[in-house]
Amino acid sequence: MRSGSGLILGIESSCDETAAAVVRKGSEVLANVVASQIALHANYGGVVPELASREHLRNIVPVVRAAMAQAGLGFAELDAIAVTEGPGLAGALLVGITYAKALALGVGKPLIAVNHLEGHIHAVLMEARQKDEAMEMPLLALVVSGGHTHLYLAEQRQSLAAEIVNSTHDDKAVMDGGTSSWRYRNVGRTVDDAAGEAYDKVAKLLGLGYPGGPWIDVLAKHGNPRAVEFKFGQIKARRVTTSIEEKQIPPPSTSSVCGMTNKKTDGSTFDFSFSGIKTAVLRYIQTHGMAELIAARRKALAEIEGAKVADAVGLCDAQTLDLIASFQFAVVGNLMRQTFAAAEVFGARGIVVSGGVSANSELRWRFAEQAARRRLPVAFPTMAMSTDNAAMIAAAAWSKFVAGEFAGEGLVATPQLKLG
Ligand code: KG4
Ligand code: ZN
């Protein structure tokens, strides 16, 4: 087991943010630099993979240099370099991985591969450690972003935790960092669009800006969430876990759920589907003759240099605002129902919500209210840690560093990388 000074440089380039951060012992953020490409992709209403790769290439060196300067460190002082292995865009991931591999080799530091989704979960765990907040296991983690909507049962591997307890004085500091390797079991995922993707697509349909989540978040406050009723269908059960995963995380605590599937008692699952609601919004627009107003709004916003959501409020009539509020009410309601049902079935001791959509204000207050009612702790990342960043990658790498889980020279970008 290792500890050292615990300084890890994290590098993230899985989508449209080039990011680098230095985090000490999975907790203390010494530097956190993010170069966002949002303005570039906004012109296209979504991330253009080729443009993303080109921008990452342009940004990776200055972003890493800026992070090292912010931390006041030289590469020789680092203990390891961590990089996002996947999931994400192949070309985008490749830039970060190639750079990280070359840097690790050049400065003689170990390389650590991190799953982007694990990073999102560790954004919350890192901030809990900063506040000295203990989190009971197992946790149910909802990772909800533009590319992902996943539910994981997560806990620390006990054997390594015990090793840390029995270790030397130096490693006591490691334990204080809140480490040991984590194990995850996927208990739910979207079968089509991610929740953030639905936000982005609905915003685009309504002639709003990109990414759509923050626009809908603000505009929803001006509408009636019960004006339009959207329904989510039940999704048929599937077999999703392997016997190894079953050993790592105990099966559900209630007898009503089969140990090998993620079924609810009614035969449906904790999976999500968001493509239907996007189509329902499109149909509503068509059947209510809203196209003309949308075209006018799109044109008006395009004419405003750096248009902001405040510019859109006056461009939306009551019907549009009601539609937006109802869409968000339905999406958040669906995320809540699946998450809390899974938490109950799997006996989770707390809930963690992370990823870009976790920045949503309605999601936060409704999750917090429901969690309080069920006496279940719920944690969210701060706004800066909700969306893609590299501090979460460096934080997730810490327990791997302690456990000596290093990546070899053969590390490659894995766009469809799974967690759990
Ligand atoms: O985690 P993230 O930065 O990148 C991915 O890994 O996808 O998440 C970006 C997503 C976008 O779909 C964006 O619309 C959504 O997060 N998002 C929000 C909010 N802020 C960002 N969705 C709803 N409400 C928000 N306030
Ligand atoms: Zn992300």
The reply to whether ligand 1 has any atom less than 6 angstroms from the CB of 123 is no
What number does the ligand 1 atom closest to the CA of 197 have? 12
DSSP type of residue 63: H
Q: Bridge partners of 189?
A: 150
Give the tokens for residue 115: 């799953």
- Do the strands 17-24 and 28-36 form a parallel or antiparallel pair, or are they unpaired? antiparallel
Which ligand is the nearest neighbour of the Cα of 17? 1
CA 200–ligand 1 middle distance (angstroms):
8
Residue 2, pLDDT > 90, answer: no
**pLDDT tens-digit readout, 293-331:** 999 999 999 999 989 999 999 999 999 999 999 999 999
pLDDT confidence band for 164 (50 / 70 / 90): very low
Give the tokens for residue 124: 């919350």
CA 356–ligand 1 middle distance (angstroms):
3
CA 193–ligand 1 middle distance (angstroms):
13
d(CA 136, CA 348) in angstroms, rounded, equals 9
Q: Count Cβ atoms below 10 Å from residue 125 Cβ, excluding itself.
A: 29
Q: Count Cβ atoms below 10 Å from residue 349 Cβ, excluding itself.
A: 14
**In the chain, count of helices (H) and strands (E)?**
16, 10
Instruction: Please identify every residue whose CB atom is under 5 Å from ligand 2, which is an ion.
Output: 145, 388
Cβ atoms of residues 399 and 26 within 8 Å: yes
The reply to whether ligand 1 has any atom less than 6 angstroms from the CB of 110 is no
Could you say which of 3.30.70.260, 1.10.580.10, 3.40.50.2300, 3.30.420.40 is the CATH number of the domain covering 1-133+385-420?
Answer: 3.30.420.40
In this structure, the dihedral spanned by the alpha carbons of residues 66, 69, 70 and 72, taken in order and rounded to 10 degrees, is 160
Give the residue whose CA is nearest to atom 19 of ligand 1: 213
Q: Give which of 167, 187, 191, 197 is closest to 179, Cα–Cα.
A: 167
The reply to whether ligand 1 has any atom less than 6 angstroms from the CB of 146 is yes
- Rounded to 5°, the CA angle 304-306-307 comes to 55
**pLDDT tens-digit readout, 337-382:** 999 999 999 999 999 999 999 999 999 999 999 999 999 999 999 9
The reply to whether ligand 1 has any atom less than 6 angstroms from the CB of 16 is no
Start-end ranges of CATH 3.30.420.40 in the chain?
1-133+385-420, 195-376
Task: Please name the amino acid found at residue 60.
Answer: I
The reply to whether ligand 1 has any atom less than 6 angstroms from the CB of 199 is yes
What number does the ligand 1 atom closest to the CA of 14 have? 6
Share of residues in the chain with pLDDT > 90 (%):
79
Q: Count Cβ atoms below 10 Å from residue 250 Cβ, excluding itself.
A: 14
Residue 268, pLDDT > 80, answer: no
The reply to whether ligand 1 has any atom less than 6 angstroms from the CB of 209 is no
Give the residue whose CA is nearest to atom 10 of ligand 1: 146
**pTM exceeds 0.75:** yes
φ/ψ (deg, to 5) at 276: -65, -40
φ/ψ (deg, to 5) at 82: -115, 145
The reply to whether ligand 1 has any atom less than 6 angstroms from the CB of 355 is yes
Q: Helix (H, G, I), strand (E, B), or coil: what is residue 143?
A: strand
Q: Give which of 2, 14, 96, 133 is closest to 411, Cα–Cα.
A: 96
pLDDT of residue 253: 43
Give the residue whose CA is nearest to atom 7 of ligand 1: 146
**pLDDT tens-digit readout, 194-204:** 999 999 999 99
Which ligand is the nearest neighbour of the Cα of 359? 1
d(CA 242, CA 361) in angstroms, rounded, equals 36
CA 195–ligand 1 middle distance (angstroms):
9
Q: Give which of 182, 197, 180, 226 is closest to 323, Cα–Cα.
A: 226
Please choose from 14, 117, 142, 145 the residue to mutate so as to test ligand 1's pocket, defined by most ligand atoms within 8 A of CB: 145
* Region 99-109 average pLDDT: 98
Which ligand is the nearest neighbour of the Cα of 193? 1
**pLDDT tens-digit readout, 218-263:** 999 999 999 999 988 767 666 544 333 444 444 444 333 233 457 6
Residue 266, pLDDT > 70, answer: no
Q: What is the CATH number of domain 195-376?
A: 3.30.420.40
